[in-house]
Structure 1
Amino acid sequence: MFCFQCQQTAHNTGCEGSAGVCGKKADTANYQDDLVSALIGLARAVRKKGATEKSDELMLKGLFTTITNVNFYNDTICALIDEVNKEKEAIAPQTDNYDVQTIWDDDEDIRSLKSLILFGLKGMAAYAYHSYALEYTDPEVQAFFYEGMEALGEEHTADELLSLVLKTGDVNYKCMAMLDRANTETYGTPVPTTVPLTIEKGPFIVVSGHDLHDLKLLLEQTKDKGINIYTHSEMLPAHGYPKLKAYPHLKGNFGTAWQSQQFEFHNIPAPILFTTNCLMPVRQSYSDRVFTTSIVSYPEMVHIGEDKDFTPVIEKAIACKGYDREKPLKGINGGSTVTTGFGHGAVLENAGKIVDLVKKGKIRHFFLIGGCDGAAPGRSYYTEFAKKTPMDTIILTLACGKYRLNDLDLGEIEGLPRILDMGQCNDAYSAITVALALAEAFECDVNELPLSMVLSWYEQKAVCILLTLLHLGIKNILLGPTLPAFISPNVLDILVKNYNIMPTSTPDEDLEKLLGPALP
């Protein structure tokens, strides 16, 4: 195997040998490469003869399956490869696949640029798949998956590939807008909501991942059954959506970010439903309580199929009985509640107040501190950075990186909380929307705003978001805890020269870089 698509990759160069750092076995990694190769073949067929409804679904499902910490089960991956090859032959018989391993052996700059495109497409496929589940599609977005995947199997110059890298960011912006519309039109515009971290007495189910549609179906099926539902990790923002928070048995949030699941789920008296990533190798102390659905799959775990009948999960919750008394949990900083729901709708309702506070000098600076979380010790940087931000600054946060700081009490500025959780990773669209609106209000370029992005990355959805920021011309991004292993020195040099992307250093040094020297 060879895999270097995520931040935790071995030695920041690539995972090789018998298994990856994520727990993915070598054969699973190779099957995932075979799936990508088959998808390139499907893209070639579609570009010759045209897409079908089945090919559209398989392209999204296939790419999403290969994202880090989504699928560990060879049988489902191989079955999907067979489906993709069958559809390719039905569209354009005898269309060749392409061995994606060829990319890993290519010139390092070509490999780097093709990796940016491939990993960006993987991340974008996740967002498009969530939209697809809610019956929202965009022909331009769907067509680009075929264009981008076909290009991976062709000879292109570095300049041509760089142009395609930026186009990936452009199309992902449209894709995130589509998902934002799908979520808000289906579940309502998020509203600020305080979410308890305490688990009530009695049966409950923990729902992890990102898929709001699956959560809605589970809430409906557990209505009036005496079973409470708790979100986990990236499902937390569900509490802000009016049509989801209307269910009284959606009670609160269990635990923190994805990388803590192996000890937070230890002997949990309840089932856990994984709707998307991030699923880690399952430990015996809770293995009989893990259920998967959608594109998530793990050997020997019960999978809820396309019928979305969650009866096995419900029966397990009743059998486990839950805690026999209320169980208070804490965030990583000791807080007992977190707040979410500050999407662009809620923030822009206060746009006039925010602009006024800036003009009066009561808000000096905005920081976007967020992205993917992970297990690397250096990620404590984001907690310390947040703690050290001055009291006249606002922190926007999103994705699971928010768990590094979302239970901190950093106070308010005239009733406006200093920490505003904007939602899931796809809700980077909200942050961009707010930034563009503020730039318009102040009649300046977005790079002239008193706004700094201090981002963490882990997997491929973070890659497509970064490409979107580059497409929009946003500069001076601080990125950590390490730079991607798949970016070559020459490609990095282009990003530094054109966008001034910088690696994080220390909170004190970076704050001084962004704000100037601290006052004595």
Structure 2
Amino acid sequence: MEKQMFCFQCEQTMGGTGCTGRAGMCGKSAPAAKLQDELTGALIGLARTAAANAPTSKTNRIILEGLFTTITNVNFDVATIQLMIDKVNAEKDTISPNSDVNYDVEQIWNDNEDVRSLKSLILFGIRGIAAYAYHALMLDYTDKEVDAFFLKALTALGENWGMNELLPIVMETGKANLACMELLDKANTETYGTPQPTSVPLTIEKGPFIVISGHDLHDLKLLLDQTNGKGINIYTHGEMLPAHAYPLLKKYPHLKGNFGTAWQNQQKEFDNIPGPILFTTNCLMPVRSSYADRVFTTEVVSYPEIVHIDDTKDYTPVIEKALELGGYAEAQHFTGINGGATVMTGFGHGTVLAVADTVVDAVKAGAIRHFFLVGGCDGARPGRNYYTDFVKKAPADTVILTLACGKYRFNDLDLGTIGGLPRIMDMGQCNDAYSAIKVAIALAKAFNCSVNDLPLSLVLSWYEQKAVCILLTLLYLGIQNIYLGPTLPAFVSPNVLSYLVENFHLTPITTPEEDLKKILG
């Protein structure tokens, strides 16, 4: 009898315990899930082989590609996953011909729940880090220590270790992600400039257009270059929204605005869209027939029978599809989920720290009572309206910092200003949690206190593995009293949860009213 799939790496896992049967809640098939497990085992084998011998110049990139391939909503295609497995095994043989170092990931899933929990935190954490490292690599930025940690963490997953040996690796995962987010921040700002506050329209103008989704700014830059002067407008989607704030990208007049809302609404919002969609990273949902002929993927993203743009980065098929479909006959005035016609972005650490004196003075004068970082991954599970309601109910003397796709729950709201600063400040993509960390550390220094003593509370939503590595970074930094929802991770065992609650006061969200009362008193 064929074994069922098992996957519990994302927040929407079936029954809050794990997806089994023929397909996962994300739409991933059982064959694809099992091949992703095989790929993970091959990556562990490659890391163990490289640790015992020496990695080649290709090893680190192959590990990034392999880990990135296994992130939720990235790759649904058994053929390309198998090719990635073959690529990993070929690299292993290059390092050590006829190596017999292999690993069956089911050993992790079948281990005792505490070991399984800690190994899951490490595995899912490095999957998230790999995405950030990959984006940096596309801009020719690397970090030898981060690359070395991938080998260390993957090797640890194959060891027969207990909690005492694994806990330090979990914390080191958070440390490695901090270094990786810093690397990507440097890569993005040195390449495209320091983000600037920017109002982004949600209107789609008449005529041919392309929607680009995901996180990879390099792909967006290439697409802008190839469409320049062709009468095709470019619109961001999902986590690509913060691209509008980068000075170099802002110079392109055909980068017009943002299409749609959060990633989980794409099946409805892309229905019969008269333009192509290019997916550069994750956040791809099962493609429906009403727009399947106009979806394109690139990098490690793949979906059966969907046209893939290879590493030559020739976007001619996407451009031709845009011209063929023609776009809307008249401008379409879309809005966010709260009815707003524009959204703001671009409040990274460069912008916020430039007005740090204004912020500090506003706090000292009592104009700002509290800061909330409300952000993270969005998803479709009921209960996520908590974050919209939380922001709406937050008192007028509080500031909302936000980042990642969780902001789409409320980023079109106009909550006014405090001391000339907007009450909602979008700091960017999920990796721009680095900006939030830098701002928090700077404020703590200004007030001569620890980050945990600041009038700052983190209210986070999670969905997939990049949220896991960011949470581990916050724990590594010793940040406490984080509110997490809409549910706690299925892969965290009761004992590991007790450890996190006892040492970091990690708290599940309840209701906006109760949590605001608890935080503000």
Give yes or no for TM over 0.5: yes
For the 8 Å contact 2:242–2:429, the answer to whether it is kept is yes
Rounded to whole Å, the distance in 2 between the matches of 1:124 and 1:281 is 24
Give the ranges of 4+ consecutive aligned residues of structure 1 lying more than 2 Å apart after TM superposition.
none
1:237 matched to 2:242? The reply is yes
- For 1:24, which of 13, 24, 28 is the aligned residue? 28
The match for 2:409 is 404
Residues 112-139 of structure 1: CA deviation (Å, up to 9, x unaligned): 0000000000000000000000000000
The match for 1:341 is 346
Rounded to whole Å, the distance in 2 between the matches of 1:277 and 1:110 is 28
How far residue 96 of structure 1 moved from its aligned partner, in angstroms, is 1.1
- For 2:110, which of 105, 112, 122 is the aligned residue? 105
1:91 matched to 2:95? The reply is yes
TM-score by length of 1: 0.99
Structure 1 spans left out of the alignment, 5+ residues: none
Rounded to whole Å, the distance in 1 between the matches of 2:413 and 2:305 is 39
1:150 matched to 2:164? The reply is no
The match for 1:38 is 42
The match for 1:386 is 391
- For 1:325, which of 307, 325, 330 is the aligned residue? 330
The match for 1:262 is 267
In the comparison of the two structures, how many residue pairs are matched? Answer: 516
The match for 1:310 is 315
Helix, strand or coil at the partner of 1:426:
helix
TM-score by length of 2: 0.99
The match for 1:57 is 61
The match for 1:452 is 457
The match for 1:301 is 306
1:483 matched to 2:511? The reply is no
Rounded to whole Å, the distance in 1 between the matches of 2:348 and 2:100 is 44
1:8 matched to 2:16? The reply is no
How far residue 500 of structure 1 moved from its aligned partner, in angstroms, is 0.1
How far residue 157 of structure 1 moved from its aligned partner, in angstroms, is 1.9
Q: Which amino acid aligns with 1:63?
A: L
- For 2:432, which of 409, 415, 427 is the aligned residue? 427
For the 8 Å contact 1:3–1:20, the answer to whether it is kept is yes
Rounded to whole Å, the distance in 1 between the matches of 2:47 and 2:220 is 32
How far residue 92 of structure 1 moved from its aligned partner, in angstroms, is 1.7
Helix, strand or coil at the partner of 2:384:
helix
Moved more, 88-97 or 254-263: 88-97
Rounded to whole Å, the distance in 1 between the matches of 2:321 and 2:419 is 47
1:224 matched to 2:224? The reply is no
Q: Which amino acid aligns with 1:35?
A: L
1:66 matched to 2:78? The reply is no
The match for 1:246 is 251
The match for 2:442 is 437
Q: Which amino acid aligns with 2:195?
A: P
Paired residues for 1:273-288 under 5 Å: 273-288=278-293
Structure 2 spans left out of the alignment, 5+ residues: none
How far residue 89 of structure 1 moved from its aligned partner, in angstroms, is 1.1
Residues 280-314 of structure 1: CA deviation (Å, up to 9, x unaligned): 00000000000000010000100000000000000
The match for 1:127 is 132
Helix, strand or coil at the partner of 2:374:
strand
1:162 matched to 2:167? The reply is yes
How far residue 97 of structure 1 moved from its aligned partner, in angstroms, is 1.1
Rounded to whole Å, the distance in 1 between the matches of 2:438 and 2:343 is 23
Residues 466-501 of structure 1: CA deviation (Å, up to 9, x unaligned): 000000000000000000000000000000000000
Q: Which amino acid aligns with 1:77?
A: I
Rounded to whole Å, the distance in 2 between the matches of 1:385 and 1:491 is 28
For the 8 Å contact 2:35–2:78, the answer to whether it is kept is yes
Moved more, 157-166 or 210-219: 157-166
Helix, strand or coil at the partner of 2:58:
helix
The match for 1:197 is 202
Q: Which amino acid aligns with 2:35?
A: Y
Rounded to whole Å, the distance in 2 between the matches of 1:375 and 1:88 is 39
Helix, strand or coil at the partner of 1:453:
strand
How far residue 50 of structure 1 moved from its aligned partner, in angstroms, is 1.5
How far residue 255 of structure 1 moved from its aligned partner, in angstroms, is 0.1
For the 8 Å contact 1:292–1:304, the answer to whether it is kept is yes
How far residue 49 of structure 1 moved from its aligned partner, in angstroms, is 1.1
RMSD: 0.5
Paired residues for 1:368-387 under 5 Å: 368-387=373-392
For the 8 Å contact 1:44–1:95, the answer to whether it is kept is no
For the 8 Å contact 1:48–1:92, the answer to whether it is kept is no
Rounded to whole Å, the distance in 1 between the matches of 2:54 and 2:200 is 47
Rounded to whole Å, the distance in 2 between the matches of 1:392 and 1:28 is 49
How far residue 95 of structure 1 moved from its aligned partner, in angstroms, is 3.7
Rounded to whole Å, the distance in 1 between the matches of 2:342 and 2:178 is 32
